[in-house]
């Protein structure tokens, strides 16, 4: 099966479990960027982020036997909620391994969506071991938040919808965290766009994708002092080759640029986006002279912010 | 001409100058309210509030001779921006009288939309005298923010659109400040709804409309310590009789209820609404047992908040 067919089938398979999110525009943001912008609002997606797409894609592609034994992941972020809600929608049990020091509000959110929270000591090694134990004991299938082809294809469906609505985009910008969204978007842009290029954006503080593209191998982050907490994760072995082949460029931004971009969107579009979600718009503003008059789609990745801890 | 014809003509006249705003829903807010809710998102209106409709209505109904001499109002709130932007869209000069102690950001917003700011000492008397002086000197037409029939009809067009999209609403809730929105909505509900009732909502702190309906005459506010700063204004002689005849009820809410309702909308709908805008949803939550299973439209009046001064 071709990748285009796989994308189309994936989109069809997850349609009952996701919202087709709206695409918004802003005269003011067009004006300050000097470009023609359309924003795909995955902050309005179920559970508030695009991760719902990848999670629904992965679970819905399991056999009924696999589904009957449940799914497991380790995450304290949006993917934990996405897997819980997708699993619930599909009648599947979800085990979510979370570090014991994760905020109570995040544990409650997972429980609210029907996931079973399993706490473990707060190290990556413990998280992986705990998830592995659940695979063995329960027969549950492990779903990685970004380094999984079904997840990557699912994340790409946001760009499919965007290109169905706006077929002549010159560029699509997305944030880069684990790499699932930017890889899926790049595949969708290749097969559904009309010479549409994909650009990733990440904070200087966690620029592993930028450095990985430079060096040709997966680099790790030495710092992670970014407000864009969704982008602290690492590229994986499945999405990195797709990124190498299909993503045109990674643009890096400063923390202050992320906050400025986020504030523009809140004030002018009247919608709530999380800091990670503001990164691609910040990247466009940083390099706006290069994109003058171009038609640009931006994937607004999510809107799950902690209102008690805002940067303004 | 019948009021229904006047509403229809008004809607037609202002259509080029306004956005037809989206109507959003939320499974979670349906769940916590026990009702079926649709939200008319005037926070996405041009300049961020429904006031654009009334301002465009009033200016577009002036003669060309009147338009050539400009319009004037006194306001430091959303109507100042609405009149400025409507006037600019129609090629008309706008004079905006603002108290000298108005925040610089509000003066800048008016200037940004092309209005000419005229400062005066910060009393109602000085504001009225300054506006009157401009009427005399420039021949400009005074437009009241809420006590003007064209403004009232214009504000009613949000409910017309909502009822075109959802014809079978049982109730429409709006905030009550000067009374223009609730009066216009009540007219639209009467002529475009199917036995649709209009309910106003206001803070206990500025419950002049509630008390006016009780006493049968326009009451004034003794306190005004509300976060809903758009609702501090008084009812007028033109909108009050419409409210008496067509508004079913005014529900009052506590300040804490406004903040809770606003936070629910920010967190769950991922959209920014201003405190005044949260008042009708707060009123519904306060009295939700009475509205169980009903189909309810809420006019989200605006989204102009000061991000440096949030209640959470």
Q: For residue B44, give how far its alpha carbon lies from the nearest alpha carbon of chain A (Å).
A: 7
Write phi, then psi, for B99 (nearest 5 degrees).
Answer: -65, 145
The string of pLDDT tens digits covering residues A261-301 is: 999 999 999 999 999 999 999 999 999 999 999 999 999 99
In the DSSP assignment, the letter for residue A308 is: T
Contact B44 A310 (CB under 8 A): no
Contacts of B273 in chain A (CB under 8 A): 270
Q: For residue B46, give how far its alpha carbon lies from the nearest alpha carbon of chain A (Å).
A: 10
- The chain-wide mean pLDDT, for chain B, equals 96
Looking at chain A, the whole-number percentage of residues with pLDDT higher than 70 is: 100
Three-state DSSP class for A212?
A: helix
The minimal CB distance from A270 to the residues B263, B271, B310 is found for: B271
Task: Say what the pLDDT of residue A215 is.
Answer: 98
Q: Do domains A4-49+155-309 and A52-142 have the same CATH topology?
A: yes
Quickly tell me which residue has 């009157």 as its tokens: B132
Q: Residue A26 pLDDT > 90, yes or no?
A: yes
Q: Residue A76 pLDDT > 90, yes or no?
A: no
Q: Residue B1 pLDDT > 90, yes or no?
A: no
If pLDDT is split at 50, 70 and 90, which confidence band does A103 have? confident
CB count within 10 Å of CB A28 equals 12
Which residues of A make CB contacts under 8 Å with B? 22, 43-44, 48, 263, 266-267, 269-273, 303, 307-308, 310, 312
Contacts of B48 in chain A (CB under 8 A): 270
CA angle B45, B46, B51 (to 5 degrees): 70
Q: What is the mean pLDDT of residues B94-115?
A: 93
Q: For residue B185, give how far its alpha carbon lies from the nearest alpha carbon of chain A (Å).
A: 23
Contacts of B272 in chain A (CB under 8 A): 266, 270-272
Domain B52-142: CATH class, spelled out:
alpha beta
Q: Residue B103 pLDDT > 90, yes or no?
A: no
Are the CB atoms for B176 and B152 separated by under 8 Å? no
The string of pLDDT tens digits covering residues B135-155 is: 999 999 999 999 999 999 999
Are the CB atoms for A298 and A41 separated by under 8 Å? no
Pairing of strands A197-203, A247-253: parallel
Contacts of A310 in chain B (CB under 8 A): 307, 310
CB count within 10 Å of CB A148 equals 23
Nearest CA in chain B to A27: B46
Contacts of A270 in chain B (CB under 8 A): 43-44, 48, 271-273, 303
CA dihedral B110, B113, B115, B120 (to 10 degrees): 0
The string of pLDDT tens digits covering residues A212-271 is: 999 999 999 988 999 999 999 999 999 999 999 999 999 999 999 999 999 999 999 999
Three-state DSSP class for B230?
A: helix
If pLDDT is split at 50, 70 and 90, which confidence band does A305 have? very high
Q: Residue B172 pLDDT > 90, yes or no?
A: yes
Give CA–CA dist B83/A174, Å, rounded: 38
Q: Residue A96 pLDDT > 90, yes or no?
A: yes
Nearest CA in chain B to A307: B312
The string of pLDDT tens digits covering residues B67-83 is: 999 999 998 889 999 99
Q: What is the mean pLDDT of residues A62-88?
A: 96
Q: Residue B124 pLDDT > 90, yes or no?
A: no
Task: Say what the pLDDT of residue A124 is.
Answer: 87
Give CA–CA dist B82/A29, Å, rounded: 19
Task: Say what the pLDDT of residue B50 is.
Answer: 98
Task: Say what the pLDDT of residue B40 is.
Answer: 98
Q: What is the mean pLDDT of residues A119-126?
A: 92
Looking at chain A, the whole-number percentage of residues with pLDDT higher than 90 is: 93
Task: Say what the pLDDT of residue B274 is.
Answer: 97
In the DSSP assignment, the letter for residue B265 is: I
- The chain-wide mean pLDDT, for chain A, equals 96
Nearest CA in chain A to B47: A268
Domain ranges of chain B: 4-49+155-309, 52-142
Chain centre distance of CA A236: 14
Contacts of A303 in chain B (CB under 8 A): 270
The minimal CB distance from A307 to the residues B44, B266, B303 is found for: B266
Which residues of B make CB contacts under 8 Å with A? 22, 43-44, 48, 263, 266-267, 269-273, 303, 307-308, 310, 312
Contacts of B271 in chain A (CB under 8 A): 270-272
Give CA–CA dist A268/A28, Å, rounded: 7
Are the CB atoms for B251 and B200 separated by under 8 Å? yes
Q: For residue A308, give how far its alpha carbon lies from the nearest alpha carbon of chain B (Å).
A: 6
Q: What is the mean pLDDT of residues A51-59?
A: 98
CA atoms within 13 A on the CB side of B88: 18
The minimal CB distance from B272 to the residues A48, A266, A312 is found for: A266
Task: Say what the pLDDT of residue B270 is.
Answer: 98
If pLDDT is split at 50, 70 and 90, which confidence band does B278 have? very high
Whole-structure pTM value: 0.95
Contact B267 A307 (CB under 8 A): yes
Task: Say what the pLDDT of residue B76 is.
Answer: 82
Helices (H), chain B: 3-14, 27-33, 51-60, 64-68, 78-89, 104-112, 124-138, 149-165, 180-192, 208-215, 239-246, 255-264, 275-286
Task: Please give the interface size between A and B, counted as residue pairs whose CB atoms are below 8 Å apart.
Answer: 36
The string of pLDDT tens digits covering residues A157-176 is: 999 999 999 999 999 999 99
The minimal CB distance from A270 to the residues B263, B303, B310 is found for: B303
Task: Say what the pLDDT of residue A242 is.
Answer: 98
Chain centre distance of CA B25: 21
Domain A4-49+155-309: CATH class, spelled out:
alpha beta
């Amino acid at each position: 099966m071709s990748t285009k067919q796989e994308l189309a089938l994936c989109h069809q398979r997850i349609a009952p479990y996701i919202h087709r999110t709206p695409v918004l525009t802003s005269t003011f943001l067009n004006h300050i960027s000097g470009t023609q912008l359309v924003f795909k609002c995955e902050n309005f997606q179920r559970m508030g982020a695009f991760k719902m797409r990848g999670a629904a894609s992965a679970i819905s592609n399991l056999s009924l036997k696999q589904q009957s034994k449940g799914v497991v992941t380790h995450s304290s972020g949006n993917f934990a909620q996405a897997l819980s809600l997708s699993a619930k929608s599909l009648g599947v049990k979800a085990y979510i391994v979370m570090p014991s020091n994760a905020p109570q509000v995040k544990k409650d959110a997972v429980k609210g969506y029907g996931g079973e929270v399993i706490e473990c000591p707060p190290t990556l090694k413990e998280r992986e071991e705990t998830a592995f134990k659940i695979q063995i004991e329960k027969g549950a299938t492990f779903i990685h938040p970004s380094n999984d082809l079904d997840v990557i294809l699912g994340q790409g469906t946001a760009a499919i919808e965007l290109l169905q609505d706006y077929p002549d985009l010159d560029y699509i910008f997305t944030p880069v965290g684990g790499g699932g969204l930017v890889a899926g978007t790049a595949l969708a842009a290749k097969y559904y766009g009309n010479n549409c290029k994909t650009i990733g954006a990440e904070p200087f503080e966690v620029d592993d994708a930028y450095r990985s593209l430079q060096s040709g191998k997966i680099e790790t982050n030495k710092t992670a002092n970014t407000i864009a907490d969704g982008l602290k994760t690492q590229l994986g072995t499945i999405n990195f080759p797709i990124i190498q082949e299909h993503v045109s460029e990674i643009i890096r931004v400063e923390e202050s640029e992320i906050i400025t971009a986020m504030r523009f969107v809140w004030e002018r579009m009247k919608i709530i986006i999380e800091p990670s979600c503001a990164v691609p718009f910040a990247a466009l503003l940083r390099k706006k002279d290069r994109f003058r008059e171009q038609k640009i789609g931006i994937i607004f990745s999510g809107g799950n912010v902690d209102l008690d801890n805002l940067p303004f």
